[in-house]
Amino acid sequence: MKLIKKARQKINIVLLAVVMTFSSVQPIAAEQTTVVANKQVRIQDDFYTAVNEKWLQEAVIKPGYPSVSTFGELEDKCRVQLDAIFKQLFENQSQYKANSTERKMINLYNNYLNVEARNKTGITPIKSYMDEIKSAKDLSGITKLLNNLRIQQNTGLLNVGVGADLKDSTKNCVYINSTGLILSNSDYYTKDTEMAKTMKTAINTYLNKIAVLYGYSETGAKKKVDNAFKLDSMLAPSIIGQDEVTVDPNIYDRIYNVYTLEQLDQLAPNLKPSTMLKNIGLDKATKIILQEPEWLKALDKIYTKENVNIIKDALEIRFLYSTATLLGEKFENANKELAATLYGVEGETSREEQALNVISGIFSDEIGKLYVEKTFSKEEKEDVEALVKEIIANYKEKLQKVEWMSPETKTNAIKKLDTMTIKIGYPDKWMDYTDLDIKSIEEGSSLVENVFNIADWSFAKQVQSLNQPVDKTTFLISPQTVNACYNPSANDITFPAAILEAPYYDIHQSREANLGGIGAVIAHEISHAFDTNGSHFDEKGNVANWWTEQDYTKFEENTKKVRSFYSQIEVLPGQKVNGDLTVSENIADITAISCMLDILNKEKNPDYKAFFESWAKVWRIKSSEAYTEQLLQLDAHSPGKVRANAVVQQFEEFYEAYDVKEGDGMYVKPEDRLKIY
Ligand SMILES: [Zn+2]
């Protein structure tokens, strides 16, 4: 719900694909710019386009979305189920007690739909917070503000949270992450690129607009927004940018800096982080990890009485940025314009659809429980589980055969496979919403108040988990999410019920189609345990080196080839894939298909075409040009077409199945083909 990212983590769980991360309170839509040639494309020249030609011609991007894809289509399918669940909920609403989870969901849903109420209250729900920021007279006043959890969370100057210790994944500890920059990536402040200019101009315009809507004069708004960017520009050089994260092999050691409360205060005497941690209940931490000491030093240097006005203006703008879309239609419209500029989005989704997405995200387990009851059978769960086990067994064989890896490293790699936790469909235990307070508008609440309550509740759960063992049974993505993930710090793989649907998976479709769909997805997630990221984590999920030096050098040589191969692929005129940014996902794709082919090769008369075509179908996507450009800059995955084509090009089975020859568009010389494992 907040554009300024909270608890900006350098370490992310690895998702199968980027999904629309825009909150539904920032409705967006899309235009269609993908041009498909009318003449038939040969499979041998462009596999992806040839397989998906009809779909690419006919698929329509819905209003409110920047793209249409297999993922999006499955999300639509899932939404039909969620609609039915909600309909039922409303039919039974007279039975629900005041503090029941059902009542809370209905309250929030109605709350979200009631835009008239928001238009009427306008900025009132955030005014007291904004006034509090404005009234700070000096540094101690600002420090007091930062001790207020809601102000702290909605301004993102410091990002504090609880998470699994990177080097002892069984325990939870406190993380202090750097300032969530308005443009999200420090490279956009320190490097003069086209994308940086686009982002800065679009967001600057948006912030000025919402500051005027809040009630400032144009000059007043400009001064405040300029100061917000000024503060960011002062901090950005000390914050590690995305470009560096993608190429630094020692990034995990670099962001693992253990500090005591006293040491934090010594490093930042003006800010005194210990007081802030105490005020939000995190001072009892047995371990505090400061991700970027250079950033904290820089922030502390800026934290002086000379800069009080800059900091205050920045906090105001940041608070407004975080909450603006909850303040009624005028603010929503400004956000729509921003989405149109940045992502080429046109039109909007219905408010009911937005509400459903919001509720499904917040009450993810409650909705998830109802969703799996309706859609997911025990038989399917067992079938997919058997497939996962088969793929893991194949990986073991595969690793044993890797020529460049020593027996010592192989043993450690296989340990990761043996201890990997498999999560399929839905979690064994569900989240409890008893302590979450969601009141209706009639009871005097507002959308802003409810959203703040949700954030408070979520933070309180983090505080409770501090110094406690990490609960490794939870699902990081809900059952109704169309995606899959590998979590390196738990060494687990998750496949929610919503992705276990055709074309990925159908208990009744051919084995080859399932192997090219969900099989490849499973193999992709498993291989993240051994990609450029997962290679830094051991079988317990701890950052540790389990490689011999020689093996790691060879691994890096191989990955360099992957970086360079993908860097040469042009996606839009003059714009190529970022081979560094996408390296771990590309390795996962190549390794996945290699693994699935091992399995297929053992079968009697396997239908290779059905397998490869299933792979090409799951990655089809049509998106606005602006969105494609954004993804090229930000997404760790290569674009769908590249995922489909560049991967199959590496395998002899593909050349044989389709008689691909030198001179064909899909042809890559055998000596240039990529192989990691
Ligand atoms: Zn992945």
Query: What is the whole-number distance in angstroms between the Cα of residue 249 and the centre of ligand 1?
Result: 18
Structure tokens at 227: 């100061």
312 and 376 housed in the same domain:
no
Residue 511 CA, ligand 1 centroid: distance in Å:
23
> If you measure from the C-alpha of residue 34 to the centroid of ligand 1, how many angstroms do you get, rounded to a whole number?
25
How many Å apart are CA 417 and CA 529, to the nearest integer?
Answer: 8
pLDDT-above-70 percentage for the chain = 94
Q: Give the separation between CA 526 and CA 522, rounded to whole angstroms.
A: 6
Q: Check whether residue 373 and residue 257 sit in a common domain.
A: no
Contact of 389 with 375, CB cutoff 8 Å: no
- Of the candidates 491, 511, 505, the one whose C-alpha atom is nearest the C-alpha of residue 392 is 491
| pLDDT tens track for 93-130 | 999 998 999 999 999 999 999 999 999 999 999 999 99
What gap in Å lies between CA 669 and CA 484, rounded to an integer? Answer: 33
* 309 and 417 share one domain: no
- Distances, alpha carbon 231 to alpha carbons 5, 186, 210, 226, in Å: 17, 12, 19, 9
Co-location of 71 and 183 in the same domain = no
Cα–ligand 1 centroid distance for 11 (angstroms): 14
What are the tens digits of pLDDT across the range 575-630? 999 999 999 999 999 999 999 999 999 999 999 999 999 999 999 999 999 999 99
Determine, yes or no, domain membership for 460: no
Do 600 and 608 meet the contact criterion of CB atoms below 8 Å apart? Answer: yes
In a domain, 233, yes or no: yes
* Cβ contact 564:620 at 8 Å: no
Give the confidence band of 34 by pLDDT, cuts at 50, 70, 90: very low
Domain contains 7: no
Region 421-436: mean pLDDT is 95
**Contact between 484 and 518 (Cβ < 8 Å):** no
219 located within any domain: yes
CA of 6 to the centre of ligand 1 (A): 23
Shared-domain flag, residues 505 and 376? yes
How is residue 213 written in tokens? Answer: 């809507």
The CATH number assigned to the domain holding 149 equals: 1.10.1380.10
Residue 454 included in any domain: no
- Distance (angstroms) between ligand 1 centre and the Cα of 634 equals 14
**Distance of CA 484 from the midpoint of ligand 1 (Å):** 8
What average pLDDT score do residues 348-371 get?
93
More confident residue, 257 or 509: 257
Distance 584 CA to ligand 1 centre (A): 7
Q: How confident is the model at residue 437 (pLDDT cuts 50, 70, 90)?
A: very high
**CA of 585 relative to ligand 1 center, distance in Å:** 5
Distance 134 CA to ligand 1 centre (A): 44
Residue 590 is assigned to a structural domain of this protein: yes
Least confident interval from 7-16, 81-90, 355-364, 545-554: 7-16
CB of 75 within 8 A of CB of 635?
no
Q: What is the whole-number distance in angstroms between the Cα of residue 486 and the centre of ligand 1?
A: 7
As beta bridge partners, residue 495 has: 424
Strands 492-496 and 421-425: parallel
Distance 482 CA to ligand 1 centre (A): 13
How far, in Å, is the centroid of ligand 1 from the Cα of 536?
A: 16
What is the maximum alpha-carbon separation in the chain? Answer: 78
Single out the residue in 327, 345, 367 at which a domain terminates.
327
Residue 5 Cα to ligand 1 middle (Å): 21
Three-state secondary structure call for residue 613: helix
How many angstroms does the Cα of residue 580 sit away from the middle of ligand 1? Answer: 14
* CATH code of 576's domain: 3.40.390.10
Residue 510 confidence (pLDDT) above 80: yes
Residue 367 and residue 304 share a domain = no
18 C-alpha to ligand 1 centroid (Å): 9
**Nearest-angstrom CA–CA distance, 458 and 277:** 17
Q: State the distance from the centre of ligand 1 to the C-alpha of 535, rounded, in angstroms.
A: 14
Using CA atoms in the order 543, 548, 554, 558, what is the torsion angle rounded to 10 degrees?
Answer: -30
Give me the pLDDT at residue 15, please. 61
**Do residue 360 and residue 321 come from a single domain?**
no
For residues 308 and 245, membership in a common domain is answered with yes
Upper half-sphere CA count for residue 472 (Cβ side, 13 Å)? 21
* Residue corresponding to tokens 């109802």: 370
Residue scoring higher pLDDT (363 or 22): 363
Helix (H, G, I), strand (E, B) or coil at 159: strand
CB atoms within 10 A of CB 412: 18
Band of residue 9 on the pLDDT scale cut at 50, 70, 90: very low
Q: Which of 2-6, 66-70, 119-123, 290-294 has the lowest mean pLDDT?
A: 2-6
pLDDT over threshold 90, residue 43? yes
Q: Which of 605, 589, 593 is nearest to 515 (CA)?
A: 593
DSSP annotation of 280 reads T
Q: How far apart are CA 529 and CA 483, in angstroms?
A: 17
Residue 570 lies inside a defined structural domain of this protein: yes
Q: Find, among 338, 328, 330, 333, the residue nearest to 213 by Cα.
A: 330
**Domains of the chain: total:** 2
- Residue 485 CA to ligand 1 centre (angstroms): 7
Which residues span the domain enclosing 520?
Answer: 14-51+64-85+356-426+475-672
- Convert 353-418 into a string of H (helix), E (strand) and C (coil): HHHHHHHHHHCHHHHHHHHHHHHCCHHHHHHHHHHHHHHHHHHHHHHHHCCCCCHHHHHHHHHHHH
Asked if residue 677 belongs to a domain, the reply is no
- Residue 583 CA to ligand 1 center (angstroms) comes to 10
Neighbours of ion ligand 1 (CB under 5 A): 14, 585, 588
pLDDT at residue 12 tops 50: no
One domain, residues 573 and 636 = yes
- Percent helix, percent strand, percent coil in the chain, to nearest 5: 55, 10, 35
Q: Write the pLDDT tens digit of every residue in 198-227.
A: 999 999 999 999 999 999 999 999 999 999
Pair (137, 204) in one structural domain: yes
Measure 622 CA to ligand 1 centroid, in angstroms.
Answer: 20
Q: What is the ipTM of this complex?
A: 0.99
Sequence-distant (6+) residues with CB within 8 A of 84 are 374
CA 394, CA 415: separation in Å to the nearest integer? Answer: 14
- Cβ(452)–Cβ(440) under 8 Å? no
- Are 512 and 597 found together in one domain? yes
179's tokens: 């300032």
Sorted by sequence, the CB contacts under 8 Å of residue 411 that are 6+ apart come out as none
Residues 550 and 481 both lie in one domain: yes
